[in-house]
Structure 1
Amino acid sequence: MPGGLVALLDDVSIIARTAAASIDDIGVAASKAGTKAAGVVIDDAAVTPSYVTGLSPARELPIIWSITKGSFRNKLLILLPGALLLSEFLPWAIIPILMLGGAYLCYEGAEKVIEKLGGAKHGKTVEDPITDPVAFEKQRIAGAIRTDLILSAEIMAIALNEIDLDDIFQRGIALAAVAIAITIVVYGAVALIVKMDDVGLHLAQRSSVAAQNIGKLLLAAMPKLLIALSFIGTIAMLWVGGGIILHGLKELGIEGPEHAVELAQHAVEGATGALSGILGWLTFASLSAIAGLVLGAILVFILHKVFKMGHEEVAH
């Protein structure tokens, strides 16, 4: 009997160690996938605050919460099952789908650059008069959730491509972990950003001189932060989109474009000593962004000038 108990305990310990190893594998895979998706996450966080621009401050957090719930539905109920089925039955399709998403990011980023340089804007703008606030709010939320679906699809595709787990159950847990963590981080950050001016106004009205100074600093920083986020988001779209296209071409047998970028990266690393890591990465990211901008500009021309297509949602 004691021998049987020892054997049972030994079996339990083996199962426990195996489970712990599986959990660790899932955690590592989810972390790696989340890191790879960082560029799209930055753009998601940069884009979303524009959807509450021009609306009542009292409605900002409810709108962000509505978009957050829509994002959870997008990722967990629509994209997660689709991603798992894709990985199980059509793994060869992941790279082409990634490239389609990368092309969309290049298009979006290039369109923003062209608009900033004086090009025509497409779709409704936030400067248009609001005649029906309730309908306008619903339109904003719907537009944000549509944009989130596209960005979330890219995040999930990037994550799926990076998760090296054979078991479909483990892949599902890792993808769900990425989806939940990214949604909380993105929309938590967005909520803080859109309420920063309210916090600043509250502090500026306090009797404490220190609180007033912090409040004034927050109020002064808010416009600059939104501009910086918009700039960073655009660069991130082009960098991630261009990088996906370059890597996808390599996977499909067209190695020249990514090889040229890698040669430039290695040349910079070889010439910059202690800063080689940072400057090499910046070189790769910059050249990827340039490639993304070129591709995006071509797509903008084709869609807007040839096919006369534009966005229906609110421009941002």
Structure 2
Amino acid sequence: MSGLIALLDDVAAIAKVAAASVDDVIGQAAKAGTKAAGAVIDDAAVTPKYVHGFEASRELPVIWRITKGSLRNKLVFLLPAGLLLSNFAPWAIPPLLMLGGAYLCFEGAEKVAHVLGMSHGHEDHPGKEVTIDDPAHLEEMKAQGAIKTDFILSAEIMTIALAAIPTSNFWMEAATLATVAVMITVAVYGSVALIVKMDDMGLALADKGRLGLTRAVGRAVVRGMPGFLKLLTVVGTAAMLWVGGSIIVHGLEQMGFATLGHLIHDWAYAIGHAVPPAIEGATEWFAKAAMDGVFGLVLGLLLIPVGEKVVTPIWRGIFHRGK
């Protein structure tokens, strides 16, 4: 009997350790995921365009296909690459993180420049005007295009998450990154599915609602969706510039160029202490985020010629060769 009691004690102790490990993984994953906010929001803002033009019955299947491709990108390709970097070349993570931050700044600044008429953005994409009559072929082409775009955004998300994970053992890092991958993918494409079908839900409420209030809500949803999508794009752009700028500033500090980081910190501190104590912390945070975002915008605007004249032609030459 005493042996059985001892065995049960051991099992209980193991269960407690396992539960604590699960809590640690989820907690670290949640913290790491928030660091990737800019890329996550951009992912949610970009994806709906890939199902534009499909019949309503095909929208969710296409989103599901892109979701599976996103999980494959993160778990099959990027997770092993991230773990190899973390364990065998940790020195490469900060430069890669800064490269991802620069890309976020470029993407955000390009959206701003396009709105202001200063950049053509991606409108001159080769084959953008090509009309495809076969719905199955069009679905295949758009899904593959979305998965390729997702790979870039997923690489940023996984790199940012990897840098945010506290130093731990191999399996803890693997479990945390895998959890980040699944959580973010479900959040992004679950949101995309909801956004894409919101019009249909609104129309159904407006047409078939039994109560006047229900029909009014349905009409409001239909009228409000274009504005919501524009707002999502604005928020996504601001988040990209903020996250990208903060990554670059932090990377410069790690490389010994801390002047800009100290200036932003000191100015944000001064602004935060110029308001009532009740909103001091929030004001300081917003001030720092705004300054990081302005820096990200300036850097992104400087990178636009490099992106359009050098990077984009190389990218299109690789992925659109022979098309």
In the superposition, the TM-score normalised over structure 1's length comes to 0.91
Residue in 2 that maps onto 1:294: 298
Residue in 2 that maps onto 1:260: 263
Residue in 2 that maps onto 1:232: 235
Residue ranges of structure 2 left out of the alignment (5+ in a row):
none
**Contact 1:304–1:310 under 8 Å retained in 2:** no
Deviation at 1:202, TM superposition (A): 1.3
Per-residue CA distance 1:195-217 (angstroms, 9 max, x = gap):
11111111111253222211100
Per-residue CA distance 1:104-155 (angstroms, 9 max, x = gap):
1111111111111113233339984734344333222122111111111111
Residue ranges of structure 1 left out of the alignment (5+ in a row):
none
Deviation at 1:310, TM superposition (A): 8.2
Residue in 2 that maps onto 1:93: 92
**Contact 2:106–2:307 under 8 Å retained in 1:** no
**Contact 1:83–1:160 under 8 Å retained in 2:** yes
Q: Could you tell me how far apart the structure 1 residues matched to 2:48 and 2:137 are?
A: 19
- Residue correspondences, number: 313
One-letter amino acid of the structure 1 residue matched with residue 225 of structure 2 = M
Q: Could you tell me how far apart the structure 2 residues matched to 1:184 and 1:310 are?
A: 32
Percent identity (aligned): 51
* Structure 2 residue 215 is matched with structure 1 residue 216: no
- Relative to structure 1, the CA distance from residue 43 to residue 207 in structure 2 (aligned partners, 3 Å threshold; closer, same or farther) is closer
- Secondary structure of the 1:264 match is helix
* Structure 2 residue 68 is matched with structure 1 residue 69: yes
Within 5 Å, which residues of 2 pair with 1:197-216? 197-206=199-208, 208=210, 209-216=212-219
Deviation at 1:304, TM superposition (A): 2.4
Deviation at 1:88, TM superposition (A): 0.9
Residue in 1 that maps onto 2:47: 48
**Contact 1:54–1:126 under 8 Å retained in 2:** no
Per-residue CA distance 1:243-287 (angstroms, 9 max, x = gap):
111111111111111111111111111111221222211111111
**Contact 2:268–2:287 under 8 Å retained in 1:** yes
Q: Alpha carbon RMSD of aligned pairs, Å?
A: 2.3
Within 5 Å, which residues of 2 pair with 1:1-316? 2-118=1-117, 119-122=119-122, 123-124=124-125, 128=129, 130-132=131-133, 133-206=135-208, 208=210, 209-273=212-276, 274-305=278-309, 309=313, 312=316
Deviation at 1:8, TM superposition (A): 3.4
Q: Could you tell me how far apart the structure 1 residues matched to 2:3 and 2:137 are?
A: 70
- Relative to structure 1, the CA distance from residue 306 to residue 175 in structure 2 (aligned partners, 3 Å threshold; closer, same or farther) is closer
